Amino acid sequence: MNQGRHDESKRTFLTCADIPDENLKDPHAHKSSVTSCLYNLGKLLHEQGHQEEALTVFKEAIQKMPKQFAPQSLYNMMGEAYIRLNKLTEAEHWYTESLRAKPDHIPAHLTYGKLLAMTGRKTEAERYFLKAIQLDPAKGNCYMHYGQFLLEESRLLEAAEMAEKAARLDSGEFDVVFSAAHMLRQASLNEAAEKYYGQAASLRPNYPAALMNLGAILHLNGKLREAEANYLRALRLKPDDGITQSNLRKLWNIMEKQGLRTTSP
């Protein structure tokens, strides 16, 4: 979201949160709406990197929320803001509160799993990732989080298996497909990585990083002309990218040694 849209959203949420509840037919519904507006405003601030402001807004939302409001997402976002501030004890408190409010809340299983892994409680972390998958086996994002955990544990083939599952389930989600390709490449499964880098580039054909990574895996897999075409497409979109320029020069050296014509100037 660009800055103008961010500012517009921020104004909308602030206006919505400030509507007074006097003379309203349904004050409970109004309180729920105000809490939702504050939650959305806090989430926006969190995404913009303003964690202290986000926490102030989240705390106001907690004070204003009516009894019937389902707080699990709000509590989970509190945990996320604290994680960004490296306040792990506070983050853990809010993740567990989120799970207490809704024991089958998948986002909290994933965020808490990451925190447990970060603090060395690997067995417990794995249990939360597996529970998230069990709660919704059709959600590619759950496999991706578990795959990332396995990758960090150097369990590369298991990570690659999770990455492929995620990419198959969420084949239209660029971030999932692109991450899956990275994991497969790290597991040295270069043919599978090529397939998913290609899929990622077709989902975002004007995204230089997708084209550069596709070029790099084609280069690695010996498909030199296709690699060149993707590097050149990436450079047309981002002419000053040093990594792509360097990769292309290396590729041209190989092509020239093999007697292949290049499009080098």
Give the CATH number, domain containing residue 192.
1.25.40.10
Question: Does 46 score more than 60 pLDDT?
Answer: yes
Identify whether residues 118 and 163 lie together within a single domain: no
Identify whether residues 198 and 214 lie together within a single domain: no
Tell which of 110, 133, 156 closes a domain: 133
Tell which of 161, 177, 204 closes a domain: 204
Question: Does 88 score more than 50 pLDDT?
Answer: yes
Q: What are phi and psi of 207, to 5 degrees?
A: -105, 110
In a domain, 223, yes or no: yes
| 3 state SS of 233 | helix
Identify whether residues 38 and 97 lie together within a single domain: yes
Identify whether residues 150 and 82 lie together within a single domain: no
The DSSP output letter for 205 is T
Q: Where are the alpha helices (DSSP H) in the chain?
A: 3-17, 27-47, 51-64, 72-84, 88-101, 106-118, 122-135, 140-152, 156-169, 174-186, 190-203, 208-220, 224-237, 242-257
Identify whether residues 40 and 118 lie together within a single domain: yes
In a domain, 185, yes or no: yes
Q: What is the pTM of this model?
A: 0.81
Identify whether residues 117 and 166 lie together within a single domain: no
In a domain, 15, yes or no: no
In this prediction, residue 35 carries a pLDDT of 86
Identify whether residues 179 and 233 lie together within a single domain: no
In a domain, 116, yes or no: yes
Identify whether residues 187 and 212 lie together within a single domain: no
Asked whether 164 and 199 are in contact (CB, 8 A), the reply is no
C-alpha to C-alpha distance for 77 and 101, rounded to whole angstroms: 14
In this prediction, residue 66 carries a pLDDT of 85
Range of the domain at 191: 137-204
- 108: CB partners within 8 A, 6+ apart: 72, 75, 76, 79, 95, 98, 99, 102
| 146-149, long-range: CB < 8 A, 24+ apart | 147/179, 147/180, 147/183, 148/179, 148/183, 149/113, 149/114, 149/117, 149/125
When pLDDT is averaged across residues 3-9 and rounded to a whole number, the result is 55
Report how many domains make up the chain.
3
Identify whether residues 122 and 191 lie together within a single domain: no
CA nearest neighbour of 170 among 205, 145, 207, 206: 145
Tell which of 118, 133, 148 closes a domain: 133
In a domain, 145, yes or no: yes
Q: What angle do CA 248, 250, 256 make, to 5 degrees?
A: 100
Identify whether residues 95 and 123 lie together within a single domain: yes
In a domain, 122, yes or no: yes
When pLDDT is averaged across residues 99-104 and rounded to a whole number, the result is 97
Question: Does 249 score more than 70 pLDDT?
Answer: yes
In this prediction, residue 172 carries a pLDDT of 94
When pLDDT is averaged across residues 86-106 and rounded to a whole number, the result is 97
Identify whether residues 194 and 211 lie together within a single domain: no
In this prediction, residue 29 carries a pLDDT of 63
Under the banding of pLDDT at 50, 70 and 90, the label for residue 263 is: confident
Question: Does 26 score more than 90 pLDDT?
Answer: no
Identify whether residues 38 and 126 lie together within a single domain: yes
Is the Cα torsion angle 124, 153, 135, 108 positive or negative in sign? positive
